[in-house]
Structure 1
Amino acid sequence: MFDNKNKYLVDENATPALRNPVDIQTHRAARAYRLQRVRQRLLAEDCAAILLYDPVNIRYATDTSNMQVWTLHNFARYALVFASGPVILFEFHNCEHLHQGNKLLDEIRPAINWSYFGAGSRISEKARAWAGELADLVQHYAGGQARLAVDKADLQGFDLLREHGLSLVEGHSLMEEARKIKSTDELELMRWTIQVCERGIQRMHDELRPGMSENQLWAWLHYENIRHGGEWIETRLLASGPRTNPWMQESSERVMLEGEIVSFDTDLIGPYGYCADISRAWTVGHVAPTAEQRRLYGLAHEQVQHNMALLKPGLSYREFSERAWDIPAPFYPNRYCCVLHGVGLADEFPAVAHRGEDWRGSGYDGLFEENMVVCVESYIGARGGSEGVKLEQQVLITADGCQALSTFPWQADWLA
């Protein structure tokens, strides 16, 4: 509510904020491990260095964060990480002070922004200065004719770097491979994000009532994330009633009615930049489900549990896809886009396709490994049906199978 005396928003129902259980040594160990992973991949690919523009990749390698969402579409900061050499961050104007105490960084320089927003008619001039500076650094630390990995850049930038004699290598896959295996310390950071996310889910559960809009409900997840030091949420996937079928509609001003299904997908980037990707479904007002709602929920839950039980190190993506739960024919046309996907600082490699036509069109093979974290997906809603259910569980692959990291309870009474 709005307090007229003090002029600020008062949350009368707020429980005390959770206490962050992560100590500074765990955080430092996680960031050191991640940089080591990047350097190991560079050496394996015979690359002298990698140029990073994706803010999630920059965060992974350098543990620096600045205007993450804004820099997804503005090329205003970047990093150059050498396999055997320094870590150099090129930071946005007058932002060097943001990273005081970060011992991963050997040097911070001002970034040269040669996007149209930053350079206008001077793009060519700025791009040449950018390429020249990078080429000089690579020459100094790695010698001529070096192989430079790049995760993303505009076309003109590639051409200019090649003019300086650099051999360019696609670097996004290199970073995805580096990010794939989590350390014990990384998992502690991720567990904290999941704890924060589940506080937000619980808050949505407790606040849910007929007559509120989808956006009002969704705002509680943001609220709990931000007040616990989280960062942003990648999507707005929350829908109710007829908007739950087909899936992928984002939250709206629609007023929710008692007894309707409401489903959501958190896609939450929380503290330390880690992702909690969890889906649950309830009825508005938490009234008893109809027989059809119960059936949809039971099938979605069965799909998640069946596919979780398959997971183990050494299992191939293809074998997992072939052995995955059989989606009944009425629900197959509206199936989710993948059977599961990796997760870390965001949704990550791999994304495992359904067998059959999906595998033929976009499937690729590989092996599950211990300490990968994946999200097991389900969407059950018949084409033309009135509602659907979206469920998702975040799990750690262990030596013995998999372990649920997301522990928010299922609707056990719906499964009886």
Structure 2
Amino acid sequence: MGDHEVRGGHRDPDLRFHAPPLSAIDLHRLRRERLDRLQAAMRAHGADACLFFDSGNVRYATGSTLMTVYSMSASVRCALVSATGRPILFEHPQSIHVSRGVVEDVRPMRAWEWTDDPSAEAALWATEIAQALRELGVVSRRLFVDRLGTPAFLALAREGIEVVDSGPVTLDAREVKTPEEIRLMEYNAAIGMKMLAAFEAAMAPGVREQDLLAALTATLLREGGEYLITRACVSGPNTNPWNLEATDRALEPGDLVYVDTDAVGYEGYFIDVSRTFLCGDVKATPVQRAAYRAAYDWLTRATVLLKPGVTLGELASKMPRLPDRFLPQRYETMAHCAGLADEGPSIGYPQDPQPNGNRRLREGMIVCLEVYAGETGGRDGVKLEDQVLVTAEGARVMVPYPFCGALL
């Protein structure tokens, strides 16, 4: 069973799990070491400067966050980082005071969206970026960027700045977690345990999927987490095929109910665990038990394979195989990483392309093993997922929420 327990009933309060206290987490060290890793990756890739709009990258580089969900759809804040020295944060003009205690150099952001002439506003913004690059001593005209609106891209080009993809830089920087990041992930793991316990306790015939989602979210917010990136809480026929989201459907006795936490927790670190439960005091059907057993066996066997040094391509070839009847509706990847977001690198099924096949597992990576077992045209599907820390001794499950004994 690894680090898990399996229990038959619901609402067992003794989860036997302890997280580090917040007092054990040094946020100043966290921010310093993340910036050190980022700038080392920049130098390795020949990136003299990076410009980040993605909220995870901004937070990784500066330690600052604000209006995260809003910032996903609007270019209202960004960070400019050189390969040495302190970053510059361009912040929402009315919110500069929020970040001044975290970032030394905070300047007002000139947004171009929702203006009558976005090109003109973006040109003024690009002029400020070019000036900031000169202040940072950046001579290169190549600027590594994660995402950028069209007006801003064109404006930078008019300034003679070549935009280059920053993805390989941030992937290298963020894939291995610092000691403080791991402590934060452990702290958030305790939140994940509480979220799943609240979800399971709220589960009963007549309860709607949306009610369960509310219980999950309420626990996250009460514990200092931030938001969910999906609404993956479904029941009965909504469990097959996978990737439907919560509706107003009421649970019925004998339903399978699965949840993927997909939660951004305290300080932005990801809680990504999936469990499937049986609703009501009923006996599972043979089809339900077979699907659950297949997913459970795959997950527990895959976990022990996570060791430093193996390439992701080699790991893909060694992974356990799902029964053929579940392969047409297999999950899109067998594994991905997690940190300040749902991150790469990822591992595809052996018959699928390997996007990161030559990359190696390294100590300090956090890998989410994910499996779905549901037959095409069937009523039921099972989703299981564990978030695993790769250590020198092997894999350690970070959120050891019990499996459902009624389905095994």
Superposition TM-score, scaled by structure 1 size: 0.90
Structure 2 residue aligned with 1:33:
33
Indicate conservation of the 8 Å contact 1:46/1:147, yes or no. no
User: Partner of 2:291 in structure 1?
Assistant: 296
Corresponding residue number in structure 2 for 1:325: 320
User: Following the alignment from structure 1 to structure 2, what is the Cα–Cα distance between the partners of residues 239 and 313?
Assistant: 35
Report the RMSD for the aligned CA atoms in angstroms.
1.8
Q: Write out per-residue CA displacement over residues 70-99 of structure 1, whole angstroms, 9 at most, x where no aligned residue.
A: 110101111111211331111113101212
The 2-side partners of 1:306 and 1:76 are apart by 45
| SS in structure 1 at match of 2:252 | coil
Aligned equivalent of 2:122, options 113, 118, 127: 127
- 1:190 Cα deviation after fit: 0.8
Secondary structure of the residue aligned to 1:50 is: strand
Offset of residue 188 of structure 1: 0.8
Q: 2:198 corresponds to which residue? A: 203
Q: Which structure exhibits the higher relative contact order, with contacts defined as CA atoms closer than 8 Å and separated by 6 or more residues?
A: 2
Judge conservation of contact 1:27–1:189 (CA < 8 Å) in 2: no
**Which of 222, 226, 233 pairs up with 2:221?**
226
Report whether the alignment pairs 1:375 with 2:373. no
Give the equivalent residue in structure 2 for 1:191.
186
Tell me, in whole angstroms, the C-alpha distance in 2 between the residues paired with 1:389 and 1:257.
17
Trace 1:264-283 onto structure 2 (pairs within 5 A).
Answer: 264-283=259-278
Write the distance in 2 (CA, Å) between the matches of 1:157 and 1:100. Answer: 25
Q: Aligned match of 2:111 in 91, 113, 120?
A: 113
SS in 2 for 1:95: helix
1:152-176 C-alpha deviation (Å, 9 max, x unpaired): 1123323332332334321123112
Structure 1 residue 101: deviation in Å?
2.4
Instruction: Find the counterpart in structure 2 of residue 54 from structure 1.
Output: 54
Q: Structure 1 stretches of 5 or more lacking a match?
A: 1-17
Q: 1:52 to 1:282 in 2, by over 3 A?
A: same
Identify which range, 281-290 or 325-334, moves more after superposition. Answer: 281-290
Give the equivalent residue in structure 2 for 1:395.
388
- 1:209 Cα offset (Å): 0.7
Deviation at 1:44, TM superposition (A): 1.1
Deviations 1:89-116 (A, max 9, x none): 11113101212421xx22111111112x
**Counterpart position of 1:65:** 65
Quick one: distance in 1 between partners of 2:285 and 2:291? 10
Change (3 A) 1:257 1:25: closer
SS of the residue aligned with 2:257?
strand
Distance between the aligned counterparts of 2:356 and 2:244, measured in 1? 25
Q: Which amino acid aligns with 2:107?
A: R
Would you say the 8 A contact 2:184–2:269 is kept in 1?
Answer: yes
- 2:243 alignment partner in structure 1: 248
- How far did 1:363 drift? 6.2
1:323: Cα distance to partner? 1.4
The ranges of structure 1 where at least 4 consecutive aligned residues each deviate by more than 4 angstroms after the TM superposition are none
- Paired residues of 2:20 and 2:183 also in contact (CA < 8 A): no
Structure 2, unaligned runs of 5 or more? 1-17
Alpha-carbon spacing, 1:314–1:389, altered in 2? closer, same or farther (3 Å): same
Distance 1:318 1:111, change over 3 A: same
Aligned to 1:9: none
The alignment-based identity, stated in percent, is 34
Contact persistence 2:77–2:90 (CA under 8 A):
yes
**Residue 354 (structure 1) aligned with residue 352 (structure 2):** no
| Residues 127-160 of structure 1, C-alpha deviations (whole Å, 9 max, x = no match) | 1111101111112222433432111112332333
> Contact 2:119/2:152 (CA < 8 Å) preserved in 1?
no
Report if aligned partners of 2:48, 2:83 keep a CA contact under 8 Å in 1: yes
Q: Post-superposition shift, 1:24?
A: 6.8
Change (3 A) 1:363 1:19: closer
| Separation in 2, partners of 1:143, 1:313 | 37
- Measured in 1, the distance between the counterparts of 2:249 and 2:405 equals 28
Q: Contact conserved, 1:210 with 1:258, CA < 8 A, in 2?
A: yes
Counterparts of 1:351 and 1:30, CA distance in 2:
25
**TM-score (norm. length: structure 2):** 0.92
The offset of 1:219, in angstroms, is 0.7
Aligned residues: 392
1:15 aligned partner: none
**What is the match of residue 154 of structure 2?**
159
